[in-house]
Amino acid sequence: MGDYVTGPTTHFGYEDVSIETKEGRVREVFESVAGNYDIMNDLMSGGLHRLWKDELLRMTGVEAVAKASRRQAAHNHPADPLMSILDVAGGTGDVAFRFVDAAGCAERSRSSGSDEIKVTVCDINPEMLRVGEKRARDRYGHALLDDTKALSFVEGNAQHLPFDDEQFDLYTIAFGLRNVTDVDMALRDAYRVLKPGGRYLCLEFSHVPNPAFQAIYDAYSFNVIPAVGEMVADDRASYQYLVESIRKFSTQDELKARLEKAGFDNVEYTNMTGGIVAVHSGWKPL
């Protein structure tokens, strides 16, 4: 596919642009759509993005580990922190809130003032982070963000994250990797910030192997999604870019190979909804 950075230019949808230009153009897209981002996700996917993110949560095992930790605590055994989670390109908090809810952080912080997991949302776009932090405060109050700091929002670039080496147990990125200027650099930095034994999970739009289904999907994507973007967000161009960026992104097998090249072991992927999206999983060796 066309999203490898091998020279001075890369793609912005179907347009070739300089590497320096793409980051700013992507930033403008997400500044434009931030306020309507989650509503548009519902409209574009028919609500399926919620099921895809729920499946991503299930794959992380956060809920199961949290339940085990609570049982341990109930028998007066001190519970170690469950895991340190980094959610990249998750500015509006949609994935991070799933982690917080699954681990019961909000309830525990109100009752005991402590939390078993730490969730850090990192996004390059301050407007997306502003929307996410406001949603978090409206949803949970201030304790999680200000007192226990079980949930935090940090501005940063996926290609060179503002975190120390080997800091996180789990790295997730949902519908963000294809917007990164240099995908391979982002994969290498994900590897850097994960602890040995840590896991990488990427939920991303992918490629439909069935030609008939692909034709239907293309017709919907190129005709309906930009029109809905214009109608709901008064922004056809941004949603045209989002559709084009999906087609330019790696296939499932190409992304698997790129994760392996970055150093990850036991890399595999799971297609959902006929390959419209896929979850790629990899582990940093111990």
**CATH code for position 194:** 3.40.50.150
- Three-state DSSP state, 206: coil
Q: Is 249 within a domain?
A: yes
Q: Is 2 within a domain?
A: no
Q: Is the four-CA dihedral 61, 113, 167, 20 of positive or negative sign?
A: positive
- Please state, in angstroms and rounded to a whole number, the distance separating the CA atoms of residues 62 and 25: 35
Give 7-50 pLDDT, tens digit per residue.
555 555 555 556 666 667 666 766 766 777 777 778 778 889 99
Q: Is 1 within a domain?
A: no
Residue 78 has which token pair? 């001190």
- Predicted confidence at residue 18, as pLDDT, reads 66
Give 64-112 pLDDT, tens digit per residue.
777 776 666 656 655 555 689 999 999 899 999 999 998 876 555 444 4
- Predicted confidence at residue 244, as pLDDT, reads 85
Q: Is 160 within a domain?
A: yes
For the chain, what is the domain count?
A: 1
Q: Is 3 within a domain?
A: no
- Three-state DSSP state, 182: coil
Work out the average pLDDT over 222-227: 88
Q: Is 29 within a domain?
A: yes
pLDDT at 226 over 60: yes
Q: State the pairing for strand pair 168-174/194-205.
A: parallel
Estimate the crossing angle of helix 211-223 against helix 225-233, to 10 degrees.
30
- Please state, in angstroms and rounded to a whole number, the distance separating the CA atoms of residues 126 and 267: 32
Which residue(s) pair with 121 in the sheet?
A: 87, 153
Phi, psi of 259, deg, nearest 5: -65, -40
Which residue(s) pair with 86 in the sheet?
A: 120, 171
Q: Is 87 within a domain?
A: yes
The phi-psi region of residue 157 (left if phi > 0; otherwise alpha if psi is between -120 and 50; otherwise beta) is beta
- Torsion angle (degrees, nearest 10) of CA 63, 162, 115, 283: 30
Query: What are the helix and strand counts (H, E) for the chain?
Result: 12, 9
Q: What residue type is assigned to position 187 of the chain?
A: L
Q: Is the pTM of this model over 0.95?
A: no
User: 262 is in which domain, residue-wise?
Assistant: 9-283
Phi, psi of 23, deg, nearest 5: -60, -40
